[in-house]
Amino acid sequence: MIDSERKLAAYLPELRAATWVAVDTEADSLHAYPEKVCLIQISTASGDRLIDPLARLNLKPLLEVLAGHELILHGADYDLRLLRRHHKFVPRAIFDTMLAARLLGQRQFGLCHLVKQYLGVTLEKGAQKANWAVRPLTERMERYARNDTHYLKPLADSLRTELGIRGRLAWHQESCVRLIQDTAAELPPDPDSLWRVKGSHALNRPALAVLRELWHWREREARAANRPPFFVMSHEAMVQLAATVTVATPSVEPLLPARLSERRRASLKQALEQGLRLPPEQHPHHPRRVNHRVSEGEKRRFSEIQKRRDTRATALGIDPTLIASRALLARLARDWERHVPELMSWQLELLKA
């Protein structure tokens, strides 16, 4: 485990000279709030290394070296967003083994399955939901963490060869570039949409006002307890409570969950009452829906594009959504010229008449 500035400084020349680099990360999103990067796994021809960000290391020199390499990752989207969010890291280039497998038509593209299929190695499972903030890591956790990157280079080599043979290597390269761009351009969420959890569309405006206060209460409690929000109260429970409390009752007291501590019950009661006190003009509205009337021509174009997509996906043996999602097909049917830049060049070639 590299857990000191001295060890990290000694490792950087080795990493800088590496001919290939595989990377993975572990976070504590199931155990803490907000989440943090708890481990960075790196494999090169020289071996596997575990970097401990919780040891208060200056990671800037490490990330600068990593940014100069093509990084091999599996399911890169999560790792890139995590590193971008916490460390402003954007790689120069990547090779995503999960994406490669999907472009080759693999229906099971988890790392364990692919390593077994391509390399004949059975990986140990069971540490996915571990608390990666715990120190020291158990031997099993260290073994699991190392395995996440140890086999990525030979797996990537096999996938790269197959992509080349089947004429899909350029598809993968373009998709990896797009993935880097998308994760680097991630925008902060709209504050007015964060509290609109699943089920909120069924609430009336007074209940939405209560739900908004409930969501902010849950955020405060989760951060104070350093626990994920769902440990404090589920989405479903918040929506149900907001719907129930706005029905005329003499007191919110009977509606408060009994399992809460006295302090948390008091703060929840305050949040509910604050939402209930809001005047009608301050009640939030549901998002305005843009009612787009679909013309017969648009329906016909959608059907034609969808048929081309599905026919070509079947011939290639890949998931049709890799070519274009249903939502993108609808936008293309509505205004092809406006939305065609959303397609990568290989997707456009497959969708052309």
Is the link from the previous residue into 34 a cis peptide, with omega within 30 of 0?
Answer: yes
228 in Cβ contact with 31 (< 8 Å): yes
- What proportions of the chain, in percent to the nearest 5, are helix, strand and coil? 60, 10, 35
Residue 291, pLDDT above cutoff 80: no
Taking residues 278-300, report their average pLDDT: 89
Segment 169-176 long-range contacts (CB within 8 Å, at least 24 positions apart): 170/346, 171/103, 171/344, 171/346, 172/95, 172/96, 172/99, 172/100, 172/103, 174/344, 174/345, 174/346, 175/96, 175/99, 175/103, 175/344, 176/76, 176/93, 176/94, 176/95, 176/96, 176/99
Nearest to 22 by CA among 152, 167, 170: 152
Task: Give me the pLDDT at residue 138, please.
Answer: 96
| Confidence class for position 189, pLDDT limits 50, 70, 90 | confident
Whether pLDDT at 296 is above 70:
yes
Tens of pLDDT, residues 90-109: 999 999 999 999 999 999 99
Average pLDDT over residues 328-332: 97
Mean pLDDT to the nearest integer, 342-347? 98
- Nearest one of 292, 308, 293 to 343, comparing CA atoms: 308
Which pLDDT tens digit goes with each residue over 13-47? Answer: 999 999 999 999 999 999 999 999 999 999 999 99
Closest CA to 15 of 57, 45, 52: 45
Pairing of strands 47-51, 70-73: unpaired
Task: Classify strands 70-73 and 93-96 as parallel, antiparallel or unpaired.
Answer: parallel
pLDDT tens-place string over residues 310-324: 999 999 999 999 999
Sequence-ordered alpha helix ranges (H) in 189-256:
191-194, 205-225, 229-232, 235-245
Angle at 149 between CA 145 and CA 154, to 5 degrees: 145
Give the pLDDT band of residue 204 (cuts 50, 70, 90). very high
CA distance 140 to 273: 48
As a residue count, the chain comes to 353
Give the burial class of 66: count Cβ atoms within 10 A of its Cβ; 0-12 exposed, 13-18 middle, 19 or more buried.
buried
Beta bridge partners of 37: 27
Instruction: For residue range 234-259, list pLDDT tens digits in order.
Output: 999 999 999 999 886 678 888 898 88
Q: Which token pair is 258?
A: 């009994």
- For domain 191-282, the CATH class is mainly alpha
Q: Give the pLDDT confidence score for residue 248 in this predicted structure.
A: 66
Look up tokens 């679909």; give the residue. Answer: 294
Q: Which two tokens stand for residue 270?
A: 């305050």
What's the whole-number average pLDDT of the chain?
95
Architecture of 5-184 per CATH? Answer: 2-Layer Sandwich (3.30)
Which amino acid is located at 125 in the chain? Answer: K
| pTM, entire model | 0.92
